[in-house]
Each structure stands twice: as C-alpha cells, then as structure tokens.
C-alpha cells in the first residue's frame, strides 16, 4: 500500500506542477497581458464616462435653470462675459494705483 500512496502523492504533485506551469504560461502570454491591459483601459474609460455624464447632467440642470430665469441668465452673462448693458454704467475701483502714488512722492522727496 505504501507504494500506491507514494505513486498517488507523486501523481498529485505532477498534476499540480502541470497546472501551475500552464497558469504561468497563460499569465505571461503576450495576448493575455494585452487582454488584461485592455480590460484595465475599459474600466478607466467607463469611470471617466460616468464622471463626464454626471458633469453633463450638472451643466444641463444649470442651463435649464438659466433658461427659466432670464434675470439670472443676464446676471451670469454679465459676470462671465464682462458685458455692460446699453443703459448701464460700470464702476471700476482701482486700489493699486492709489497705493503707488504716495510711494512715488516719497521717492521724489528723497532724491531732492
């Protein structure tokens, strides 16, 4: 019986070895690696597509809101495109130019 048990154990290890070598051949086969890389790329593209669909839905909601509210659309256009209506005045406040003028005067006084 011992011989039969040994031969069964050896046969079992041989089968496991063959399965392992076959598995390695499949993994390191170039077509398999291409298949795996394509699956990864498909997954990335699907997630990117879902992200873009969600972003598109957000913009469609915003667009529908602006279509129903003309005042909001006008306000958005003024902000985004820097537009002033025909009967409106635009006020521009420049803080930087006021700060520079006293410095120039002090430099002139220092030179004299």
The predicted pLDDT at position 80 comes to 84
Tally of domains in the chain = 1
| Structural domain harbouring 31 | 2-111
The predicted pLDDT at position 25 comes to 80
pTM to 2 decimal places: 0.46
pLDDT tier at 45 (50, 70, 90 boundaries)?
A: very high
Average pLDDT score over residue span 19-29: 82
* DSSP per position, 12-43: HHHHHHHHHHHHHHHHT-HHHHHHHHHHHHHH
CA 75-77-79 angle, 5° bins: 70
pLDDT for 47-73, tens place per residue? Answer: 999 999 999 999 999 999 988 998 888
């Amino acid at each position: 019986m011992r011989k039969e048990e040994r031969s069964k154990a050896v046969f079992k290890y041989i089968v496991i070895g063959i399965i392992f070598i076959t598995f390695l051949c499949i993994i390191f086969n170039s077509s398999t690696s291409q298949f795996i890389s394509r699956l990864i790329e498909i997954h990335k593209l699907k997630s990117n597509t879902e992200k873009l669909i969600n972003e598109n839905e957000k913009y469609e909601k915003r667009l529908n809101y602006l279509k129903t509210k003309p005042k909001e659309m006008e306000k958005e256009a003024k902000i985004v495109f820097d537009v002033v209506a025909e009967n409106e005045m635009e006020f521009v406040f420049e803080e930087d130019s006021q700060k520079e003028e006293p410095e120039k005067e002090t430099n002139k006084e220092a030179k004299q």
